[in-house]
């Protein structure tokens, strides 16, 4: 059985839109699909069961972040990303190529790969096409992405001040010797060359489907050049990369419409970086796309606090822990009333209520333990991962 099979079920008579089902070793998902992002092996704020209840059938993990923590070898020892995050459904991992763009202020790109400054401890992290595939083979996702060179979609010199969230790209674009057309050509050639390396390094082709990524910025001629060469490599599917990285919505739609690969062989195209669905027709590619949703990352600004010498100031400060009141081995919430901290047993059903003051506030007997029955010891069940 191949690592991936895409069955087209319905086609629109007037547009390229279509619906289908993608079959993987860990189940199937319908297309077009909305793909929540679980960057570090978890969708923030939701348990896997709750994610499934939203109707999501496939998740996305990030190779770069899982490489840093907890590491691909540990994830492999624990049974791969599916068992690691208790998600027995399809998973896609991106290669880390986008981080070369989004973290341009703390990395260096060359013809062989990218050297990152770790957001964890400031150390150098080297990611090459072969290493990106090795990491993804260890993680064990159903769909893995080739390592690509993602350039700015538009000339950084044209970014407005309010739109310059990528400091590194803006600085590179402000150099006098920066040539945006030359940068697009360089990224296209690297992406094709790296794709060949990724295919050769792929050690699990019968279990994991490798997708190539099309680049070219907003230049439609360069997009066509990339489509011809990337889709010339025989793969189960292809991705539309380098969109939603600085250009406007009209340019995004034009690029996706132009780039969507021909479906003569029934591949499943993926559109990277688009978290908002457009109007009728699927928006941009006539419905032939997957989209990804990026959850907010509060620690993303940590990379901006790295010293020039590579040290991480946040790692130098000791971790401060505040004691929390507890009863019977349970951690319970705290309330503030009249400036006094109250333990959670006052809120437990079936327990005597705390005395009230004349003002109606809960009165705490400071300095004396509350005389309440001991709470029962919580029952600890088996983890669903071990069942």
Give residue-wise pLDDT tens across range 57-92. Answer: 999 999 999 999 999 999 999 999 999 999 999 999
Tokens found for residue 209: 């489907």
Domain span at residue 175? 5-312
Asked whether 74 and 67 are in contact (CB, 8 A), the reply is no
Closest CA to 132 of 166, 98, 104: 98
User: 245 with 101: CB under 8 angstroms?
Assistant: yes
Output the CA–CA distances (angstroms, integers) from residue 56 to 34, 87, 160, 269, in the order listed.
Answer: 7, 11, 36, 18
| Residue bearing the bigger pLDDT, 13 or 274 | 13
Tell me if residue 60 falls in helix, strand or coil.
strand
Angle formed at CA 223 by CA 212 and CA 36, multiple of 5 degrees: 50
CB 18 within 8 A of CB 287: yes
DSSP class per residue in 225-278: HHHHHHTTS--SEEEE-S-SSS--HHHHHHHHHHHSPP-TT----EETT--S--
Q: Would residue 158 count as lying in a domain? A: yes
Does residue 369 belong to any structural domain of this protein?
no
Q: Is residue 270 part of a domain?
A: yes
Q: What would the mean pLDDT of 243-258 be, rounded to a whole number? A: 87
Q: Domain containing 184 — which CATH number?
A: 3.20.20.105
- Burial string for 171-198 (b: 16+ CB within 10 Å, else e) reads ebbeeeeeebeebbbebbbbbbebbebb
Let me know if residue 370 belongs to a domain. Answer: no
Say whether pLDDT at 344 is over 70.
no
In whole angstroms, give the CA distance from residue 150 to residue 109. Answer: 10
Q: 70-84 as b/e, with b when 16 or more CB fall inside 10 Å?
A: eebeebbeeebbbeb
Q: How many domains does the chain have?
A: 1
CB 288 within 8 A of CB 274: no
- Least confident stretch, 4-13, 75-84, 242-251: 242-251
333 within domain boundaries: no
335 occurs within a structural domain = no
Question: Is residue 307 domain-resident?
Answer: yes
pLDDT band at 268 (very low <50, low <70, confident <90, very high): low
The DSSP call for residue 2 is -
Is residue 41, in this structure, part of any structural domain at all?
yes
Tens-place pLDDT, residues 279-299: 333 343 333 333 333 333 444
């Amino acid at each position: 059985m191949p690592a991936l099979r895409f069955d087209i079920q319905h086609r629109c008579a007037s547009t390229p839109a279509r619906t289908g089902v993608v079959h993987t070793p860990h189940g199937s998902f319908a297309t077009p699909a909305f793909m929540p992002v679980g960057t570090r092996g978890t969708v923030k704020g939701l348990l896997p069961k709750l994610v499934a209840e939203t109707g999501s059938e496939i998740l996305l993990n990030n190779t770069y972040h899982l490489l840093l923590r907890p590491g691909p070898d540990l994830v492999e020892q624990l049974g791969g990303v599916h068992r690691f995050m208790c998600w027995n459904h399809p998973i896609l991992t991106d290669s880390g190529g986008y981080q070369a763009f989004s973290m341009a202020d703390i990395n260096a790109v060359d013809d062989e790969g990218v050297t990152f400054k770790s957001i964890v401890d400031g150390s150098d992290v080297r990611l090459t096409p072969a290493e990106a595939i090795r990491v993804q083979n260890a993680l064990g996702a159903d769909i893995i992405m080739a390592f690509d060179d993602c350039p700015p979609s538009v000339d950084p010199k044209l970014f407005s001040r309010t739109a310059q969230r990528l400091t590194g790209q803006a600085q590179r674009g402000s150099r006098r010797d920066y040539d945006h057309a030359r940068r697009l050509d360089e990224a296209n050639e690297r992406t094709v060359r790296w794709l060949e390396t990724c295919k050769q390094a792929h050690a699990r082709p019968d279990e994991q489907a490798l997708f190539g990524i099309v680049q070219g910025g907003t230049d439609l001629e360069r997009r066509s050049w990339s489509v011809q060469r990337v889709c010339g490599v025989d793969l189960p599917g292809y991705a539309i990369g380098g969109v939603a990285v600085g250009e406007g919505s009209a340019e995004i739609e034009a690029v996706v419409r132009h780039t969507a690969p021909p479906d003569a062989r029934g591949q499943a195209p993926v559109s990277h970086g688009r978290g908002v669905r457009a109007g009728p027709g699927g928006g941009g590619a006539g419905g032939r796309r997957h989209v990804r949703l990026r959850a907010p990352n509060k620690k993303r600004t940590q990379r901006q606090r790295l010293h020039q010498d590579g040290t991480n100031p946040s790692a130098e400060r000791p971790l401060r822990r505040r004691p929390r009141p507890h009863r019977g081995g349970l951690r319970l919430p705290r309330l503030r009333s009249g400036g006094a901290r109250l333990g959670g047993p006052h809120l437990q059903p079936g327990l005597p209520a705390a005395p009230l003051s004349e003002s109606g506030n809960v009165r705490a007997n400071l300095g004396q333990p509350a005389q309440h029955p001991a709470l029962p010891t919580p029952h600890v069940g088996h983890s669903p991962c071990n069942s």
